[in-house]
């Protein structure tokens, strides 16, 4: 674990009793992924923050957020250095070290984005073989893309970098999940400069909460499943976007 990585402790005292023991603390890896996770030096907010807050109240545990780039967070999950993550797509290789909490809590779809006026440049998957495509390292999009070694993929640490690279013509396109990418473009006022490709992968990206299989918290997996099921019965995913109206947009 690199010493330079800052640890941000969410002030859970408003939600949990001061007598909560260290053994009841869940360490969650987070990166900036609006509108699900707004991560600043001062605070963490967004849809996932609200989800974790509700789970912590139901199951009576304390939260500690650990900031890390997505790919590094996954490695830390594999090694058991953090306990949990959210916003996870299910993948067979990840399921070898992640215990997924059921059910999923949100559904997005994969989209490819190009500069305005170039949407027809990608009309089928193999059109990507002649392009440079920006993506977040370690992310899963759709199976054909994830496994295709003939695509020149430019890896970055954060989605927010991708629109800039596209508009500066440093990449030809970028790939992302619409629930995040569309929000990013709209909040920055650049939706009119970027179009979605004609080609649609046609897949649903279900977002899950996951526990590191090396973590002691997997002993409570049934409790997590039941708590998440209750949240879904309360229509958490339907109301989720309303939860971010007061969140910082930086």
For the segment 18-71, what is each residue's pLDDT rounded down to a tens digit?
A: 333 445 799 999 999 999 999 998 899 999 999 999 999 999 999 999 999 999
Say if residue 90's pLDDT is above 70: yes
Return all residues near 58 (Cβ < 8 A) that are at least 6 apart: 227, 230
Dihedral over alpha carbons 38, 40, 45, 49 (to 10 degrees): 90
Please tell me the number of Cα atoms within 13 Å of 61 on its side-chain side. Answer: 21
pTM score: 0.80
Residue 187 and residue 75 share a domain = no
Identify whether residues 101 and 30 lie together within a single domain: yes
Residue 166 within any structural domain of the chain: yes
Q: Please give the average per-residue pLDDT across 120-126, as a whole number.
A: 98
Average predicted confidence (pLDDT) for the chain: 88
Measured over the CA atoms of residue 83, residue 32, residue 156 and residue 113, the dihedral's sign is positive
Inter-CA distances, 122 with 88, 161, 174, Å = 26, 21, 11
- Position 237 scores a pLDDT of 72
Q: Is 160 in the same domain as 180?
A: yes
- Determine, yes or no, domain membership for 1: no
């Amino acid at each position: 674990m690199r010493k330079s990585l800052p640890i941000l402790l969410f002030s859970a005292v408003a939600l949990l009793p001061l007598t909560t023991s260290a053994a009841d603390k869940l360490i969650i890896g987070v990166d900036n992924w609006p509108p699900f996770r707004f991560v600043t030096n001062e605070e963490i907010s967004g849809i996932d923050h609200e989800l974790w807050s509700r789970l912590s109240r139901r199951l009576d545990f304390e939260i500690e957020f650990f900031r890390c780039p997505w790919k590094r967070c996954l490695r830390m999950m594999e090694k058991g250095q953090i306990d949990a993550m959210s916003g996870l797509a299910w993948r067979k290789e990840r399921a070898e070290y992640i215990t997924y909490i059921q059910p999923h809590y949100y559904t997005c779809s994969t989209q490819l984005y190009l500069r305005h006026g170039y949407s027809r440049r990608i009309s089928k998957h193999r059109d990507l073989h002649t392009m440079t495509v920006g993506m977040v390292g370690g992310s899963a999009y759709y199976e054909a893309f994830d496994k295709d070694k003939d695509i020149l993929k430019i890896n970055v640490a954060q989605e927010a970098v991708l629109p800039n690279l596209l508009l500066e013509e440093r990449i030809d396109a970028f790939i992302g999940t619409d629930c995040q990418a569309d929000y990013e473009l709209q909040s920055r006022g650049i939706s009119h400069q970027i179009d979605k490709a004609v080609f649609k992968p046609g897949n649903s990206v279900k977002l899950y909460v996951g526990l590191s299989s090396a973590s002691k918290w997997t002993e409570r997996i049934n409790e997590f499943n039941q708590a998440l099921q209750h949240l879904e019965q309360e229509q958490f995913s339907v109301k989720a976007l309303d939860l971010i109206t007061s969140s910082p947009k930086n």
